[in-house]
Structure 1
């Protein structure tokens, strides 16, 4: 499958999206990105940019959400082109590389999440949207994370039960109403510590609504991990 995809899509860097030179094609990073992978700097909150004690969200930002903690591997601007190629141009090989980088970030900067997590779940797409796109990008990220870390990934544990407008087209209040009661749990989460994974954290509305449903289904703790975060500063 990878060889077939390489014939369709020229191999590109999983971070910046640039076409890989021939000598770089055994990996998934260009020489510049491999030399300095632009992860979120430690002790910087991915949401507001303020100093924090670790590589996750600060206490001020966390007080607005139902989930217990959150972190992101990259600033959105650093991986914006790669995300676009992955989600909208269908270049799934970039997704595999991004998932591997997320796994490395967990292993190196948030090993405590690996110890705490009982199961990992992805933010779901509505079936119509997934059929149109051909895949759920967050599931691909989770599958790669699971391969590299050994985390249990429950693929269909959350469902999106109604179609919604794209969040990017709405203001913060409209986002809340758009996703209210949009998700349902298809698994019993009683007593489980759950790692909820998504590709982009902007206002946090999507992850928050998913977390509420996970708690309603019995989850003991919900932690959020995203590929990227678009900071508010």
Structure 2
């Protein structure tokens, strides 16, 4: 039985589908997806590189795209356009329930299609926000994703493995070259990752600049391998 407070909250702020962002019907509210999305969860296709659309055999980026990045592998759960509305409700409208649902879906994707990442990973690390931005938003969205991934997979979440040293302009407001300059030396590792294989988690992969800069710091802190897993990829579908 739901308590009165929960019922009132559901009435004023009805839960939404973690994929499409539509309000869930009463009979759907035990889960995080609407009936349409649950019947056909739009995960990224395993045979296509989510960055360029080229052929790949592992559900991650193809060898050609990986040449541009310092990390060892990268894959995502959804095409960005499929979850754009849900990400907006999560990050900017503060709907943490949607974020928790998306985190659980990411964990399911790992368990079903990327078991090799789980077998190799020693620790889970999230891309950090600057403290001022996190205070303004009230949470770090990647922390919530990581918490749910850790909960379902058993991976250890190193919550404070990275820090953002300075405030930066939102990457979405910049072109690719400006993004590189904007994030240069913006991150620092705050833990010892010597010999560890790190699974780095972010919400959106566009040019890869954020993950690139975070990976550099993880390697400087001794990481043996850095693998990237993102909620969504803004690339070829």
Same fold per superposition (TM over 0.5)? yes
Q: Equivalents in 1 of 2:16, 2:202: separation in Å?
A: 22
Q: Equivalents in 2 of 1:188, 1:30: separation in Å?
A: 42
Q: 1:170-209 residue pairs with structure 2 within 5 A? A: 170-209=174-213
> Hey, what does 2:80 align to over in structure 1?
76
* 1:89 maps to which of 69, 88, 93: 93
Q: Equivalents in 2 of 1:48, 1:42: separation in Å?
A: 13
* Distance apart, 1:54 and its partner CA: 1.6
* Distance apart, 1:6 and its partner CA: 3.4
Matched positions, count? 233
Structure 2 regions of 5+ residues with no counterpart?
Answer: none
* 1:212 maps to which of 205, 209, 216: 216
Q: Equivalents in 2 of 1:36, 1:158: separation in Å?
A: 35
Q: Could you say what the CA RMSD is over the residues aligned between the two structures, in angstroms?
A: 1.4
| TM-score normalised to structure 1 length | 0.97
* Distance apart, 1:189 and its partner CA: 0.5
> Hey, what does 2:130 align to over in structure 1?
126
> Hey, what does 1:44 align to over in structure 2?
48
Report Cα offsets for 1:146-180 as digits up to 9, x if no partner.
00000000001100000000001111111000000
Deviation beyond 4 Å, 4+ runs, structure 1: none
* 1:153 maps to which of 157, 179, 195: 157
Contact 1:99 1:144 in 2 (8 A): yes
Contact 1:5 1:93 in 2 (8 A): no
| TM-score normalised to structure 2 length | 0.96
